[in-house]
Each structure stands twice: as structure tokens, then as C-alpha cells.
Amino acid sequence: MNHTPLDILQHTFGYGSFRDRQADIVNAVCQGKNALVVMPTGGGKSLCYQIPALVRPGIGIVISPLIALMQDQVNALKELGIRACFLNSTLSFPEVQQIERDMVSGGVDLVYIAPERLNKQRTIDLLARVDIALFAIDEAHCVAQWGHDFRVDYLRLDILAQYFPSVPRVALTATADSRTQEEIASRLTLDQDAWFICGFDRPNIQYHIRQKKQAKKQLIDFIRNGFESCAGIVYCLSRKRVEDIAQWMQQHGVRALPYHAGMSHQLRQQHQNIFLREEGVVIVATIAFGMGIDKPNVRYVVHMDMPKSLEAYYQETGRAGRDGDPSTGVLFYGMEDVVKLSQMAENSEGDETFKRHEQQRLNAMLGLCEMITCRRQALLRYFGEQLEEPCGNCDNCLIKPKTWDATEAVQKALSCVYRTEQRFGAAHVIDVLRGSDNAKVKQFGHDRLSTYDIGSDMSVDAWRTVFRQLVVMGHLQLSSSGYGNLMLTEKCRGILRGKEKIYLREEDKSTKAIKRKVKTVASPDDMPLWNALRALRKELADEHGVPPYIVFNDATLKDMIQLRPRTKTEFLVVNGVGDKKLEQFGAEFLAVISEY
Ligand code: ADP
Ligand code: ZN
């Protein structure tokens, strides 16, 4: 029987409709296009190859570097009634042989393969004997040498186009700037007309950035304001701090577990498993934690120290809310973090250019902390994307920050950049503004400029903040030379002509706890049912030996609470309930729902 993509979406996956560009992507791949898909985390990339693999005759081959995740991915598919398996180094030889036989006889729908397998002639011979529906290359940015996560094993993927030219390829990633996209497309020989570059935005994540003031207390206050029983990740800069914070949280009744490179592999693995399998566990970690974690219902990510770049910040906060439900990213920053990070960059192994870049990234990060307008707009702008309107879902949009009229200071700053011919970095421009008599100022004759010594009423630090904020807001930009010299942009015009006012953030003195404006879990009346459904889910998950979210994710449970289905037909309407899950779990969930 031939199924359409929509049939499969509804009956197998239990979802009512495709999201955003999923339908276009699925159609293109079904038609045999070689597609490139760049979609943010949680956007729904998996369906983009899983459904075409089921629609097209033959087996879908998924190449993924995340061996640790394969088991869970395969389990999740099996729970949907899809015949899935994986081939990687964790299998015994007899197991491998069995899977190979199944593949040749067409007894599987989807096979996950580790990229290093493609270096083996045995694998190539096997694939030659198998009817293949498509190749999906997950984490495709790993093929790009330009990218940040290059893997040698991925280079071998050029054989796909050579040996299997008629099998469609679909490359998927959440992170690829335009240069990386080019490189992926050229290495994998993808079709120019089948690029699907979706926006970078994660609209369900609410961003909050606060100055540190008794950070531990701020953390507990935040959790107690609606996140008590939620899974979360708390990032810290050092191992010592990880231990300290985890302990503090435990003392305050939060189930927090440490995770850092100083712990034994075994203990780390154990903590990671508890985090994946149990409800409401918080991992306190250094940045070593996260790669390959795709727990969908992480409700918050807290940074107890400032990350070293916007790239890191975005990637780490991005681990919240993969399921699309409201989630929060909180950052507590302090000037001491900046000093520490700056020293780390200075003491690093890298050359001068590297160090300069690290400082610039750090400044951009600090700029994001200090800005007063929409954080999401600034983040997306940094990644080359334009968000027309303020997002309404970050702290600056939700609670107006206290500001001061900085128009005059900004005019001074901008004209000093102009007078010094846009050839210097902030440090020098500030020296000129503050009337320093150092050698460099004299050497360039900048002590004779009209902007010399017009800003000695403000401290160096105060000026630094002004410059950082101007860069973040896009009034100044760093030249591409890499030397950090500041240049004016179009946006300055109104201010320089005195036609526009500009306000900057006043030092944040409030200690009020962060409160999400959106309810994270069910309303109080629904709490008993919510808890009962979660308990049943956990019980069934343990029976099946899978994490709870593989039985049903939070969004599906919430949909049950909303719809309160009474019959099997009604249960099928719930988002995330397909035929197989209805059959497996329907009766038990319906029984619980009917009790409330
Ligand atoms: P990605 O790989 O892009 O991070 P996933 O493929 O894991 O994202 O999907 C993220 C979540 O969104 C999953 O829980 C998935 O089941 C859900 N999802 C994906 N597509 C849809 C859809 N069309 N309707 C409802 N939920 C969807
Ligand atoms: Zn905003």
C-alpha cells in the first residue's frame, strides 16, 4: 500500500500537520532531490528524513556521529511501530550479522550508521546489496573543515554521491553559517534548488540576563518560581563551582547532580542517565555537558557565569525546549567573569589573532548582557538574521530596564571614532576621549583633535560599557580586519545630527526574582492529573526500558489534559498519538484521564 507523507505523519507519528517547511522538505526528498536542511534545534529535522524513508521504497540510511543517542532514537522509532536499528561499534559481531541479513531481506525501515563504518569495505559491499530509500546525513556541519565541529570520518561521505548517485541525500544541521552551508553542499554534491535554510530563532525560549547578586540565592529563587519539578541544566565556569552549586541546590531540595571532566567516566555516565531517565533532575555542569543530549523537555538552562561567546551562549541555551514548549534561559553575569574569561583567552595557546578574536567575542557577549533592547533581535543579528519586531519574549521586552539618557555621551563617542578615522579600537578612542597623554595618543596627534578630553567626566569602565552597547545595537561595527577597530554604521546618522536620542542601561540594582510570564506546567487545577499522567508514563517507560519522553513527551501529556479524551477515537486526536501508541498505551492513559 502506498502512503502519503501526511498519512504517515498522522497515523505513525500522531501529529496533525507539518510544521513550517517540513512539508516542502519531505516532498523534495520524496521526489529524489539532494537537499540541505538548516533548521534550529527542536525544529523537527528528524521527520524530514524519517517520513521520506517510509514513503520511498527501500531502507533509509541515517549517518549520525552521536553513537550515544542511537539507542534512544531507535527505541523511539520502535515505539512508533517503525522497524529501526543501528550499526555501530557497540554491537557484537553476531548482532551485526543479524542486522545485515535484515537489511538485505528488506526487513527494516531505517538504519542508523556511525560515519566511521563507511570506511569499511564491508559496509560499502553491504549497501550495494541493499535497496536504499535515501541517505540522511545528520549533524552535517561535521563535514565542513571551516565549521567548528569538523570530523575526519565525515570526509568519507563523498562516496555516497559517487557510489550511489541515484539515491537521494539529505544533509541536516542546526548550525551552519553561509560558508559552512556552501562547504556541505559541495562535499555532498547537493542540489542548488533544494536548500532549506530555516530561521535560527528559538521562539519558545525566553531569555533573561541579570547581574549577579548572591547568585546562588538568585538561582534558587528562580527555580522556586514555577520550575520546582522541571528538568534543567545549570552551567558553571569551573569544576569547583559545579560541585559547590550542586551541593547548595541539594541542600535546598532540588535534585541536582554534578557533571564535569574531573569526575570518573562512570559517574558522569550515571548522572547523565539519571538526568535522561528521571523527571525533574537538574544537571550542574561545566560546558563538557551537552553535546548529544537531546532530552526534549529541559525546561531551563541557567548560566551561573558568563559564557565566553554568543555562539556558546546560543548553543547552550538552545538545549532547553527542544519539544517546542515554553522554556527559559537565564544568565547571571558579573564583571569578575569577564576578567576571568579575558585572562583565560590571554593565557590560551592560540596566536595573537586568535586571542584578539576571543576578546572580541567576549565583548559581544558582554554587550548582549548590557543592552536594553530586545535580546533576541541582537542575538539573531549577530548570526546574520533580521528579526523585524522586538520579540516580546525576553526580559528587556517584558520588563522595561532602567535607563539613562546617553545621547550626549554617545555623540561624543561616535564623533571621536570619526575623528580618529575609524582606525582604532575602543581602548584608544577612550584614551582620546578622556584626555590621556599616553604615547600612542601623541604619536597620532590625537591630542589635537576636537574630541580630545571631552569625556573625562566618565570612567574608563563607563565608556567601555557605552562602546560595547553601541556595537551590540549596531551603531558601531568592528572592522573585518580583525584588529578590533571601530567603524560607524548607517544607524549613527540620526544621533550624530542630534535628531535621535539614545538610552543605555543603568546599573541593575534590583534583586527581584525572575518570574516567567508564561506558565510552564499545567494550571493548579490540572496538577493532580498532570502528576498522575507523568507517573503512569514513568511506569510504562521503566517497563519498556526507555526514557519517559519516548513513551509520550510533555507536549502530548499537556494535550491530553486539554482535550480530556474519553474514547480511543478521541485519544487519537491528541498530538503525538499515532496508531501504534494508541494500541500500546491508549487504554491505560484513558483510564487515568477518566479518573479526573
Ligand atoms: P531537531 O532534530 O530538529 O532538533 P526533532 O526532530 O527532534 O528536532 O523534533 C523536535 C520535537 O518536535 C520532537 O518532539 C518532535 O516529535 C516534534 N515535532 C516535529 N515535527 C512535528 C510536527 N509536525 N508536529 C508536532 N510535533 C512535531
Ligand atoms: Zn525581546
DSSP string covering 206-260, please?
Answer: EEEEEE-SSHHHHHHHHHHTT-TT-EEEEE-SSHHHHHHHHHHHHHTT--EEEE-
User: Residue 505's pLDDT band (boundaries 50, 70, 90)?
Assistant: confident
Please tell me the number of Cα atoms within 13 Å of 497 on its side-chain side.
7
Q: Can you give 6-45 as a three-state secondary structure string?
A: HHHHHHHHCCCCCCCCHHHHHHHHHCCCCEEEECCCCCCH
What does the pLDDT look like over 91-101, one tens digit per residue?
Answer: 999 999 999 99
User: Residue 324's pLDDT band (boundaries 50, 70, 90)?
Assistant: confident
pLDDT > 90: percent of the chain: 63
Cα 475 to Cα 219: distance, rounded to the nearest angstrom: 34
Nearest CA to ligand 1 atom 18: 44
Determine the average pLDDT of the residues in 50-67.
94
Q: What is the pLDDT of residue 72?
A: 83
Beta carbons of 271 and 257 less than 8 angstroms apart:
yes
Residue 392 scores a pLDDT above 50: yes
What does the pLDDT look like over 520-577, one tens digit per residue?
Answer: 556 778 889 999 999 999 999 999 888 898 999 888 999 999 999 999 999 999 999 9
Determine the average pLDDT of the residues in 469-481.
80
Q: What does pLDDT average to over the chain? A: 90
310 Cα: distance to centroid of ligand 1 (angstroms): 25
Q: Which homologous superfamily is 205-393 in?
A: P-loop containing nucleotide triphosphate hydrolases (3.40.50.300)
Q: What is the pLDDT of residue 146?
A: 64
Grid coordinates in use for 180? 559552512
* Ranges of each domain in the chain: 5-197, 205-393, 403-505, 524-594
* Four-residue CA torsion sign, 329, 335, 336, 339: positive
Residues 6+ apart with CB under 8 A from 499: none
Beta strands per DSSP E along 236-374: 256-259, 282-285, 298-303, 327-333
Residue 511 scores a pLDDT above 80: no
What's the CATH fold of domain 5-197?
Rossmann fold (3.40.50)
Beta carbons of 134 and 170 less than 8 angstroms apart:
yes
Nearest CA to ligand 1 atom 5: 44
Determine the average pLDDT of the residues in 455-472.
88
User: Residue 291's pLDDT band (boundaries 50, 70, 90)?
Assistant: low
Q: Kindly give the number of the ligand 1 atom that is closest to the alpha carbon of 39.
A: 3
User: Residue 479's pLDDT band (boundaries 50, 70, 90)?
Assistant: confident
| Ligand minimally distant from the alpha carbon of residue 172 | 1
Q: Kindly give the number of the ligand 1 atom that is closest to the alpha carbon of 17.
A: 23
Cα 175 to chain center, whole Å? 9
Q: Kindly give the number of the ligand 1 atom that is closest to the alpha carbon of 9.
A: 23
Q: To test the ligand 1 pocket, which listed residue (7, 8, 19) has its Cβ within 8 A of the most ligand atoms?
A: 19
Nearest CA to ligand 1 atom 9: 44
Grid coordinates in use for 41? 534545534
pLDDT > 70: percent of the chain: 96
CA distances from 81 to 14, 18, 47, 574 (A): 12, 20, 15, 18
Residue 1 scores a pLDDT above 50: no
Pocket of ligand 1 (CB under 6 A): 15, 18-19, 22, 39, 41-47, 296, 322-324, 553, 575
Cα 525 to Cα 242: distance, rounded to the nearest angstrom: 36
Q: Residues with Cβ within 5 Å of ion ligand 2?
A: 374, 376, 390-391, 394, 397
What does the pLDDT look like over 334-377, one tens digit per residue?
Answer: 877 887 888 888 888 888 888 888 888 888 898 899 889 999 99
Backbone angles phi, psi at 122, to 5 degrees: -55, -40
| Ligand minimally distant from the alpha carbon of residue 390 | 2
Cα 243 to Cα 259: distance, rounded to the nearest angstrom: 8
Please tell me the number of Cα atoms within 13 Å of 313 on its side-chain side.
33
Q: Kindly give the number of the ligand 1 atom that is closest to the alpha carbon of 13.
A: 16
Nearest CA to ligand 1 atom 24: 15
575 Cα: distance to centroid of ligand 2 (angstroms): 29
167 Cα: distance to centroid of ligand 2 (angstroms): 43
Determine the average pLDDT of the residues in 417-443.
94
Determine the average pLDDT of the residues in 275-288.
89
For the domain spanning 524-594, the CATH number is 1.10.150.80
| Ligand minimally distant from the alpha carbon of residue 318 | 1
∠ Cα 41 547 579 (to 5°): 85
Cα 294 to Cα 276: distance, rounded to the nearest angstrom: 9
Residue 23 scores a pLDDT above 50: yes
Determine the average pLDDT of the residues in 111-129.
92
Strand ordering across the sheet containing 205-211: 205-211, 327-333, 298-303, 231-235, 282-285, 256-259
Q: What's this model's pTM, rounded to 2 decimal places?
A: 0.78
User: Residue 293's pLDDT band (boundaries 50, 70, 90)?
Assistant: confident
What does the pLDDT look like over 123-180, one tens digit per residue?
Answer: 999 999 999 999 999 999 888 876 566 788 888 899 999 999 999 999 999 877 788 8
Q: What is the pLDDT of residue 446?
A: 96
Higher pLDDT, 384 or 50: 50
Q: What is the pLDDT of residue 218?
A: 93
Asked if the 403-505 domain carries CATH number 3.90.870.20, the reply is no
Question: Residue 393: enclosing H or E segment and its boundaries?
Answer: none
What does the pLDDT look like over 224-278, one tens digit per residue?
Answer: 988 988 999 999 999 999 999 999 999 999 999 999 989 999 999 899 989 988 8
104 Cα: distance to centroid of ligand 2 (angstroms): 52
DSSP 41-99: TTS-HHHHHHHHHHHSSSEEEEE-S-HHHHHHHHHHHHHTT--EEEESTTS-HHHHHHH
461 Cα: distance to centroid of ligand 2 (angstroms): 26
Residue 298 scores a pLDDT above 80: yes
